[in-house]
Copies of this chain bind each other. A is one copy, B any other.
């Protein structure tokens, strides 16, 4: 028991500075969600395995952490069965529950279970941890937070417009320049229809995505190798060569896909969304990107992906529209659209850009030095006044040597140290030391409050 303790691999402790920075990200996101009329819900960390299994594919089922039944979990399992059982089969006999793998399936379960109480369209957000038994590696954890917002019960494209504004507002508040990539599943379906090769849809999107890196001719070559005919590749060339502004791209796509009903509808939806967000005003760069295909099986309309403009780290937010969130729980026909923010990657981007606000790293604004019982009591009376003004204050708990006390303030980057000695007690003043400038002033309590409240230069 005396060996140095540790935590399970793939999990993390967050100390004061990391926690404050994470809270800054979470509260920025939740503030914006709330401004747009999304309401927070919370679901349990532990769901029934019957809710979770079969929703994420075979690989997903394997990655769900299962919780051992409490009590006599072997009851009803005879020894023959035990010996014969393989891990997967036995797991569902001795485990009824599992840890939440994402927020989408619990949300779908929530909508079905509480449908009588929900006002449709229902706009919810959820910021909670999820768990995956993935192999841990840099940037991939077994416990991490998801920050999701979804509108369900409406097919209106205004929801997309609002979600894009939310993305724009969140990253604007965080000070991260972004590029929003926009596509539509119907555009992809139209392309596949156009060249009469729906089975090659994935090959096509992968190929389009490579154009910047290897050029159109190499992409065309690759598509031939993957089984497309030269005629099909020729038909694709204008899409591979798609370039220019938002409007130019929409016009080209519109002309190319005019002959396919679904493709034309996709272009029209893209145009509505792009026109609306631009009319309302978008700070982010918007890009029409027919190579975007994230979660192809899942999304049925708009597809959104967000990348940081100044840090190469992959997607930091994304989402899209789906037709049938709750069908798997016996409630078909509920359309929806949602976005998700990747808190861990956003953290890394803010760290890389050095964009965390300085007050997100220090919690205490003033430390009172401790000169003895009477001075400490007087200090605590003054601290009560300061806290009523919203100032975070602490007192050094013992009358230790001044060097040691100041050392704490230094180490914790506390911007001010207040000293109440015999003179100050007699005069009702404070000796206030600005730890940044090193300057020390004798001031009244009100003056001290004003100085501490003023942002540090």
Contact = CB atoms under 8 A, between A and B. Distances in A.
B47 A8 contact: yes
A99 interface: yes
A252 to B, nearest CB: 25
Interface residues of A, number: 113
A329 B2 contact: yes
A279 interface: yes
Interface in A341-398: 363-364, 367, 370, 376-377, 380-381, 384, 387, 390-395, 397-398
Contacts of A198: none
A309 interface: no
Interface string A21-50: 011000000000011111111111111101
Interface string A393-407: 111011000000000
A268 to B, nearest CB: 13
A129 interface: yes
A43 B58 CA distance: 30
How many copies of the chain does the oligomer comprise? 2
A66 interface: yes
A302 to B, nearest CB: 14
A14 B36 contact: no
9 contacts: A2-B330, A7-B51, A20-B40, A34-B363, A36-B387, A45-B131, A65-B67, A65-B70, A67-B99
Given A44-B143, A158-B370, 14 more contacts: A1-B329, A4-B330, A7-B113, A13-B42, A16-B39, A35-B391, A37-B367, A45-B45, A45-B99, A46-B65, A67-B68, A68-B94, A82-B83, A119-B411
